Structures are given as C-alpha cells and as structure tokens.
Structure 1
C-alpha cells in the first residue's frame, strides 16, 4: 500500500498523498492515443470556427447574403457555442464525458451536412447553430476529460494538446480554403466543398471515442470504483492506478461535503462577486482583442488591403501558421512566467499592432503595392502576439482563480459571456467594416485593447506559484486584491 505521507503537488493542488512513480510501459502509448482521439474535438472546434473565413465570399454570392446576414451566418455558430458550453458541461456531469463527446461528434457531422446541402440562408443558420452546440461542448468537455485522465505529473502538457489542436484546426481550414478556392474556385458551390471536409474528423472522433474509456473521476463520482481502477490501469502502472483510484475516491468524498454556492450566494459576497467579474472581464477582453475578426474574416480584410481573391486565400495561411507557433511557445513558458506579466506584454503588443494596422491603412492608400504586404505582416504580428501571450494564459488563469465551491459556476459564467462577446463581434464585424473600413475597426480595437491593459494592471491578480488552496483563501478574505498580493510574481 502506498505511503500517505504528504508531498508537494507540482500541478498546484497543494499537498497530496504520495503515489507510486510513473514508469516506462505501454500505458504511455495508450494515453497518447486516447489524448489524440479526444483532441479531434479541438481540431473540429478550430476548423469549424475558421473555415467560414474562405467559404463566406462564394457563399455570399450564391445565397444572396448582405453584410448583416454574413454576420448572422458567422455568429450563429458562436451563439450556439455559448449554449453548448453550459449545456455540454452539465450533460457530461450527468451522462459521462465519453458519451457526451460521442454526442458532440454526431452534432459536428449532422451540422456539417446541413450546412453543405443548405439551399437557403435560413437552413445554413440552422446548420451553423448545430455546429455551435458541438463547438461549445468541445470547449468545456474535452479539456475536462483530458485533465481527469492524465497523471498529475504531465497534466499541463496533456491538457495543452487540446489548445494546440484548436489552432491546428484553424490552420487546416485556411490551407483547405486556399487549395479548394484556387483549384475549384471558378465552379459554383465551392464553399460547400470547404465545409464538407469537416465530416472526416467528425467520423474519426466518433469511431475513436467508441474505443476509449470513460473518465475515471466521473466513474468514481458515480460509484463505479472497480471500473475506474480498470480504466486507470490502461494508462498507468497497475500499482499506481489502484493508489490513485483510492486518492480520487477520498477527494471525491471530501468534495461532496463542501458547500457549492449558487449564483445568489456568489453575488451577495463582495469578494466572490469581484473575482467573478475578473473572470468575465478576462474572457471578454480576450475576445475583444479582435483575434476572431482575423480568424473569421481574414480573407475579406486582406482583400480590402489590396490582395486579389486567390492571393488572399493563400496568404491567409500565414496567420494560421503563426498561431500554431505561438501556441507552442505559450505552452512551454506557461509554468515559468508570471501570468500578469504575460497579460501586460500581450495587451501592449496587440494595442501597438492595431494602431500600426490602422496607421498603415491610412498612410498607404488603396493601389499602393506595399499596402497589402505591410498589412499582412502586421496582422501576422498581431496573431502571434495574441496566441503567444494571451490565448493560453486566459484559459489557464480562468481555471485557477475561482474557489472550489464556485468553480463550476464561475467557469461556466465566464465562458458563456466569452462566447457571447465572440458572437456579437462575429455578427457586427462585417457591418463595421462597411461603415468605417479597416482603419476605423483597428483603431477601435486599439482603444479596447488599451482599456483591457488598464483592467489587467488594476484588477487581475497573479496566480502562478500558489496552490489552489492558497488562492481560494486569498479570494475568500479579499487579500488577493491587495496591491502587493495582486502583483506577486
């Protein structure tokens, strides 16, 4: 039987009973396969949110879309994702992580087929909402499934694979759009081919999830201890699996005795209310960087900058490629670099990039051969800054700042509002471009990013280097908002 003497938890969970060490064995390969299968949900998330970038222009001609209905087609997925983020989490608690991901893959497949064969704008919106429900569920359920299956020693890197697959999915969408648009661009309905590719990873996700296990934490929560041990033994040495199952069972029992606060209790406590507003503010600030205006409407922005249709599809791959590189760098530095410093650098860089894009579009008039290339370089710099310093850091911080007794409510509310901000940006961005052009839009983003920088400096606390229990105590008594504590690094 393993020792129960306490030892520090490198994952930030305080003090844990000692566990037998991880050793070499076939379980590592099995764990990698399970993670690969589950992160197809992240790949689908990235592809479905970004494929509209190249599909929208030919779709607009065939379905007769206006600037506003373009926004509706884009944002309908995002409004669906806001609902899916909340309902997917609750469904996975009741029904299981694995079954929920299976259902999610069916929604991905069905939604894609509805979009591919949609004869009208209205049917397209229905298909996009179905895809949105799946995307929203993927944004919450897949990371939870990976975190609950991974050994604590490698939980960060394993969970981070999902964020990596999201940006890989975005890059894949840009590459597919470029190839399909340039090879079959002269044929009608080329956008349907772009949308159809997503059915392949959806089928792969469904078939793969039939062959992987349920989350051991969920099984223990639902009284299936022996089944949980068997699952852990697939991805751990047997001795480690048995010891870890007992530990999870003990923690589950302790958590069952904790008081979980409802929204009334949270809003009536000044410190819990304030940390909730910090979480919501971070989510909204991340979206209002304007990153998804590039991911959804990058081709249209580059065409307005001066590229022709086919060239815009090709050079649009560059932001997707830099996003993957930025995500790799972010994952490597996340455990060794101050969260607050990361945010401050990130919002400073995005503000500067927005200002330069706006200035560049003013100084270099339409027709100047340098204009499209200067704007492309600045867009790539912006996406790189966002992915390296803000995207991963926001999700990590949201997972750390809430006390356990309000974690589900705090995360759910923050992610819901994050998706709503994303949806409204997607809905109105084409209309804004029509009204004020690239210059006005990016000057506007610069102002918003500057406000986000002020928000981070004055409100967001440092979380790196503290256990979750220490953070919970600091939130509960309000000391986390003291200046010297907030700036701890």
Structure 2
C-alpha cells in the first residue's frame, strides 16, 4: 500500500524566475530525506509482520485469526489516521504533525516489543497504524508544499520510493535475524519490530531542524516566517514573487465553495466518478498485493519453503517492488492510464491463475517452491509497475476541485478498509482454501477489475485538471475523443 500523491496545483499567474543551480537544492534534498523517513517507516511497519508474524504466533500462541487481528489492527487504525491526519496538520502545522507522528512510531514500537500477549501487541499496532495513516497523508503534502512547482513531482515522488525501500528493508532484516537467531530465541520477532525505532528517532530529531510549510504559515497570517523559509529554499529573487503567487492562489481558493453531499448526489456524473474512485480503491487491494506484503513468508512456506528459506525468498518480491516503483514513476506521464490499468489487471490475473495451477498440478519436487516464487515475484512486479502508482495518480486527477477532498477521502478510506478486511481474514482464508484456491479467487477478482476498467474508468492522461473537471461534471469524459471534440465545438 502506498501514499496518495497530492494533486497538481497551478503555480499561479506570475512568470516566476527560473530554477537555477544553488545551495537551496541541497537544503531541499535534506528536507526531503528527513521527511521521507516517514515513508520509510510506513513501509517498514506495514511489512515487518511478514516474517515476524510466524515467530510471534508461536511465541504468543496465536491462532490464524489472532494473527489476522494483530496484522489488521494497524490497517484499521491507518484508515483513521488517513482521515484525521490532514485535518490535524491543517490545525497545528505539517512539521508539528510529523513530529507527533514520529513519537507515535516510537511509542507503538515500544508497546509491541514489550507486549506479553496479543492485547498489548494490538494496542501497539493501533498506535503504529495511526502514525502510518498520518504519514500517508501529511508527508506528501509537506513535500509538495515546500517544493518548487517545477520539481514537485520528482521531490514528492521520493516518498513512494522510500515506502517500498522500507518494505524491502523489513524483509531483509527479518531474513537476517530469523535465520541467525530464530531457532534459539522464540522472542526474536521483538528484535524485528525494534529496528523500526531507529528511523523513528532520526525522524524525530531531524524534523526539529526542518522548516514549516510556507503555505501553511501564510494561511495562518505568518507571512514573514513564510518568506524567510522560501528565501532559504529558492534561488535568488524567486521567494518574493512566489510568495505573492501563493497568496493569490490561496485567495482565489478561499472564494471557492466546496460542494456538499446533497449537491454531489444531485449530479449523476459526480456520483458515477465517486463510485469509480471507490472501485479503483477496492480493486487495488483485491490484487492480493498486501496478502504478499503481510503474509508473504507464510505463503512461501505453504509453497514448500522451509521457514529460513521463506524469509530469504521473500527478498525477491520486495526487491522487484522497488525496481518496478522506480520504473512506474518514470512511465506515468508517457503511457495511457487506461492501458496501464488493463495491462496490469490482465497480467496480475494471469499470474494468479499460473500460481494456483502450479500449486495444484505441479508434482512435489525441489523445483516447485522456486517456480512458485518466480510467479509470485512476477505478480508483484506487474502490480507495482502497472497498478500501484497508476491508481494513486488517477485518484488525484479524476475529482473536480470542489469535491476533491470528499472524493479522495472516501476512495482512500474504502481502499484502507478493503486492505484491513483482507489483512484480518487472509490467514484464515489460506488455511481453509489452500494456496491454489486462494489465488484462483484473486484471479477471478482481477478479471472483474479488468472488466470494470474497460467499461467505466475514463482516460485522464493529457488533460489539464480544469479540462478534467469540466468533462467529469458534464459526463463528456466518457465519450470517445472525437465525440468530445464535437461536443465542445457545438458549445462554442
């Protein structure tokens, strides 16, 4: 699961001085490095249970449902954190919210590591979930508001890379710790969780030296502080005109009245786009990607690996996630969104069928676990390459400005809740159905997702947000390109 990128915002009306080389770029880099430790923690804390979960279940005597409760506690809490984190940061500031988030990461780790039983593990995971949900919203906002608009995408995109890097680090550390000490120490899972405290401490200490968002400061009437920060983070002669630009954009936005729920429900095209957003959120999760993220080690054990081998084998899907995320960020502005979705759901459903068929039909040989690992790795790579970034980018584009907060909020909430439900019941499902039937079910869901995209999801690439807003509101976005051009010609 990944963060939600901030929708692009117009830089305003002034022709700003160009970005030139200078020390401000190093300062921006340091800010991004420290802030994206929140993304690293997002990835680590959601993935560490993959590998730690088996040891924890044995040490605490957890049933499959008990393990599901421990996993999903973080996910349900993340949904709450995602809903409330933005509002909290609007009230007290982005920097202050990230500092509180760092404290929550540390407290959550402390609770889990010292837990004598499931109750305190769940309490710690809830605290971690609140921090993860907040990170998914506030860190990309903080980066987007500090970055010059020309490089906002690349700077904010570093958070996506840090999320998958955190997932990879969790898998690598689980493999090292589990293979070195797993047999001797039943509480080895505590060390796996404890490592998350290290980047959390760096985040807390580092953010004490980081600036506040100049846009937030301007909203609070603290213009001089905002100008001082922009002066440090922009080339010479750029800060003043950019601040004026921000002030104009803020004034224009303050005049805009957001739609209420009744207004949205009265327009069938707006209802339709909300349902499409919710569908994209649901189907991103029913790819089964988070079943591998949270329970990959258990899936690989079912596939035939010994525990130590499963911990090491889990590195392969985590590594392909990092590589695919980097490539996906590069291709997003070059490839049709719809084609990306269709290729993604087609590939994922195909690999699910191959995983299920291999698990069911291939003879039990030494090669079978490695064939399944290769197929699982290919599935993860396809999902990360074609569906993960595409889902978040599309959600950031399809909603008109006056209802963007509502549309994004409900779509991301539905996404998190689907994630949570799958996280809760996946151990029980795979125990009841087995590996092959579980992946056949995922294959069926992804065929449905393919048909959903084919029939309902519009193309958003190559249009400005203003064009998308008009086309969504009128329903023209669902017309073929030639018909849209004809409709616009008739209007003019």
Same fold, TM exceeding 0.5? Answer: yes
After TM superposition, the structure 1 stretch with the greater mean CA deviation from structure 2, 456-465 or 189-198, is: 456-465
Q: Which residue of 1 aligns with 2:151?
A: 154
Distance 2:200 2:403 in 1: 33
Q: TM-score, normalised by structure 1?
A: 0.95
| TM-superposed deviation, 1:12 | 7.4
How many residues align structurally?
A: 478
Q: CA RMSD in A?
A: 1.6
Mapped contact 1:460–1:486 kept (Cα < 8 A): no
Gaps of 5+ in 2: 1-7, 486-492
Q: Which residue of 2 aligns with 1:301?
A: 299
Question: After superposition, where does 1:124-135 map in structure 2 within 5 Å?
Answer: 124-135=121-132
Residue of structure 2 aligned with 1:35, choices 32, 36, 41: 32
Distance 2:51 2:194 in 1: 13
Q: Which residue of 2 aligns with 1:314?
A: 312
Secondary structure of the 2:55 match is helix
Residue of structure 2 aligned with 1:138, choices 125, 135, 141: 135
Mapped contact 1:14–1:468 kept (Cα < 8 A): no
Residue 60 in structure 1 maps to residue 57 in structure 2: yes
Q: Which residue of 1 aligns with 2:218?
A: 220
| TM-superposed deviation, 1:393 | 1.1
After TM superposition, the structure 1 stretch with the greater mean CA deviation from structure 2, 235-244 or 248-257, is: 235-244
Gaps of 5+ in 1: 1-10
Mapped contact 2:11–2:245 kept (Cα < 8 A): no
Q: Which residue of 1 aligns with 2:20?
A: 23
Distance 1:33 1:485 in 2: 47
Secondary structure of the 1:238 match is coil
| TM-superposed deviation, 1:443 | 0.3
Distance 1:207 1:25 in 2: 26
After TM superposition, the structure 1 stretch with the greater mean CA deviation from structure 2, 472-481 or 324-333, is: 472-481
Mapped contact 1:479–1:485 kept (Cα < 8 A): no
Residue 396 in structure 1 maps to residue 393 in structure 2: yes
Secondary structure of the 2:238 match is helix
Distance 1:321 1:374 in 2: 17
Residue of structure 2 aligned with 1:412, choices 409, 414, 435: 409
Say if 1:42 and 1:83 are closer, same or farther in 2 by CA, change over 3 A. Answer: same
Distance 2:45 2:156 in 1: 21
| TM-superposed deviation, 1:440 | 0.8
Residue of structure 2 aligned with 1:479, choices 468, 476, 479: 476
| TM-superposed deviation, 1:225 | 1.8
Secondary structure of the 1:134 match is helix
Residue 375 in structure 1 maps to residue 372 in structure 2: yes
| TM-superposed deviation, 1:100 | 0.8
Distance 1:265 1:131 in 2: 37
Q: Which residue of 2 aligns with 1:101?
A: 98
Mapped contact 1:462–1:485 kept (Cα < 8 A): no
Q: Which residue of 2 aligns with 1:251?
A: 249
Residue of structure 2 aligned with 1:236, choices 223, 230, 234: 234
Q: TM-score, normalised by structure 2?
A: 0.95
Q: Which residue of 1 aligns with 2:77?
A: 80
| TM-superposed deviation, 1:230 | 1.2
Distance 2:483 2:358 in 1: 37
1:14-44 CA-partner distances (Å, limit 9, x unpaired): 9743110001100000001100111001000
Q: Which residue of 2 aligns with 1:345?
A: 343
Distance 2:106 2:95 in 1: 17
Mapped contact 2:12–2:246 kept (Cα < 8 A): no
Distance 2:9 2:450 in 1: 27
Q: Which residue of 1 aligns with 2:180?
A: 183
1:213-270 CA-partner distances (Å, limit 9, x unpaired): 1111111122122211111112111311111110010000000000112333323321
1:417-466 CA-partner distances (Å, limit 9, x unpaired): 11000000000100110111111110000010111111111111111111
Q: Which residue of 2 aligns with 1:200?
A: 198
Q: Which residue of 1 aligns with 2:449?
A: 452
| TM-superposed deviation, 1:486 | 10
1:320-344 CA-partner distances (Å, limit 9, x unpaired): 1000000010011111111111111
Q: Which residue of 1 aligns with 2:4?
A: none
Mapped contact 1:462–1:486 kept (Cα < 8 A): no
Q: Which residue of 1 aligns with 2:3?
A: none
Mapped contact 1:302–1:372 kept (Cα < 8 A): yes
Q: Which residue of 2 aligns with 1:4?
A: none
Distance 1:368 1:16 in 2: 66
